[in-house]
Amino acid sequence: MPDNPGQNSKEERFVYSHFIDGIMSGKFLTLSPTEIKQIAMKNHFGFVSLTPLNEREEQLLLVLVVKKLNDRLNHENLEGLCGQVFYDGETFYINGGEKDWKNWSRRKEAPYPLSPKQKVELLFNPNIWHKKRLVMPRFGNGLTRYGNRDLLGSDAYFGDEKGFRGLLEKLRQRTRVTKLVVLDTGCGMGKALQDMKELDPDIETHGITMEPEPAMFNADHFHYIVAERMPLEFEGKFHLIVSNMAFRYFLFQHKALLNVVKALANGGYADLHFSFDRIDSSPESRAYFSEQVPGANSNYEAMKVLVRKVMADLEVLQEAGKINIIPSSNFYRQSMQGGLIIEKVSG
């Protein structure tokens, strides 16, 4: 078995049981729309939301979640991986892609066929799923479709280890809590959460992601939900909340921002990044945002207005001494886009 199969592998394997069955039988089993919706209703909508949403907002989120789950759980790459697969140590070849292996691989050795057991062991290993490539005739890409940033680095959550450790020490002093509870909102496979735990084992790590991958990195808890519908039990729970670039994919960023503030414990700290360039633009969501912000020419423009309204409410809380808001220098100039730090002083 490859190293680090993932602490939460049982849960991912349950969600992807149809994929495992397909690997073992050689024929992919597509999940029906009813099955996909059942997964969404159980995981994403089976609890009371921290910030109430109206019926229309709930329906828009449900449509989005079902679409994303269907794209992920019934992806054509999964079907190809259930058939004959060749592997050369860095790339998986499906649907005859092995015939072009010299054009894709740096290795001299020709790819070899994988047994069903070998495929399960490799594909459900987060280090493999995170880094390796998949090739079919005239096309290649990564196994995972989303970026999974490391904790430390120039384009990561924190610039260096000293900054991360220093923040945890500051939070322990401020909250008088030794075992801090940390949430990554939009964690992907959970790479940053695993990095955190390796640097400081005395934290409890949580990650929010809409759709699980077949393989996930180690975290104490993964929550397969949307940030706009955090559960009520999250209220006042987290001492540190981070989100690196994930907000751009949220349908209701203003609702997710409210959830973050509510989910912070007293003395807690949130470090978020906002941008609206990837917001959903379906006709259904466009109709909703047109009503919410009459005159807005796009969902992008509407979200600027809605987040600004929430920021105005947060500024009132800041004046009351309940929170501190520290925006990046360009946050307001870029219409609520950029970095935003929120410190919770009191409930």
Task: Report the b/e string of 199-238 with b at 16+ CB within 10 A.
Answer: ebeebbbbbbbbbbbbbbbbbeebbbbbbbbbbeebeebb
Annotate 200-255 with three-state secondary structure.
CCCEEEEEECCCCCCCCCCCCEEECCCHHHCEHHHCCCEEEEEECCHHHHCCCHHH
What pTM does this model have? 0.92
The answer on pLDDT for 204 being more than 80 is yes
Q: Where in the chain is the domain with CATH 3.40.50?
A: 161-344
**Rounded CA separation 241/181 (Å):** 9
Give per-residue pLDDT as tens, 271-317.
999 888 888 989 999 999 999 999 999 999 999 999 999 999 999 99
Q: Judge residue 34's burial from the number of C-beta atoms within 10 Å of its C-beta, 0-12 exposed, 13-18 middle, 19 or more buried.
A: exposed
| Predicted pLDDT of residue 275 | 87
What are the two backbone dihedrals, phi and then psi, of residue 332, each rounded to the nearest 5 degrees?
A: -75, -35
Per the CB < 8 A criterion, the answer to whether 133 and 93 are in contact is: no
| Predicted pLDDT of residue 32 | 97
Please give the mean pLDDT across all residues of the chain: 92
Per the CB < 8 A criterion, the answer to whether 190 and 9 are in contact is: no
Residue with the two structure tokens 């992919």: 28
- Give 147's pLDDT tier (boundaries 50, 70, 90): low
> Is 161-344 in CATH node 3.40.50?
yes
Long-range contacts of 149-154 (CB under 8 A, 24+ apart): 149/188, 149/191, 149/192, 149/244, 149/245, 150/191, 150/192, 150/195, 151/191, 151/192, 151/195, 151/196, 151/199, 152/195
| Predicted pLDDT of residue 13 | 56
Q: Strands (DSSP E) along the chain, which ranges? A: 85-87, 91-94, 112-113, 133-136, 139-142, 180-185, 203-208, 221-223, 238-243, 264-274, 323-327, 338-344
Mean pLDDT across 230-235 = 98
Residue 143's nearest CA partner among 109, 167, 119 is: 119
Give per-residue pLDDT as tens, 125-138.
999 999 898 998 87
| Predicted pLDDT of residue 105 | 80
| Predicted pLDDT of residue 8 | 45
**Percent over 70 (pLDDT), the chain:** 95
- Give 56's pLDDT tier (boundaries 50, 70, 90): very high
**Rounded CA separation 251/145 (Å):** 19
Cα–Cα distances in angstroms (integers) from residue 263 to residues 28, 197, 291, 335, in the given order: 40, 21, 29, 24
Question: What number of helices (H) and strands (E) belong to the chain?
Answer: 13, 12
**Percent over 90 (pLDDT), the chain:** 78
Per the CB < 8 A criterion, the answer to whether 92 and 133 are in contact is: yes
The answer on pLDDT for 3 being more than 70 is no
324, β-bridge pairs: 343
| Predicted pLDDT of residue 4 | 40
Specify the 3-state DSSP secondary structure of 22: helix
Cα–Cα distances in angstroms (integers) from residue 94 to residues 6, 28, 112, in the given order: 25, 13, 12
Give per-residue pLDDT as tens, 155-169.
889 999 999 999 999
Q: Judge residue 139's burial from the number of C-beta atoms within 10 Å of its C-beta, 0-12 exposed, 13-18 middle, 19 or more buried.
A: exposed
| Predicted pLDDT of residue 7 | 41
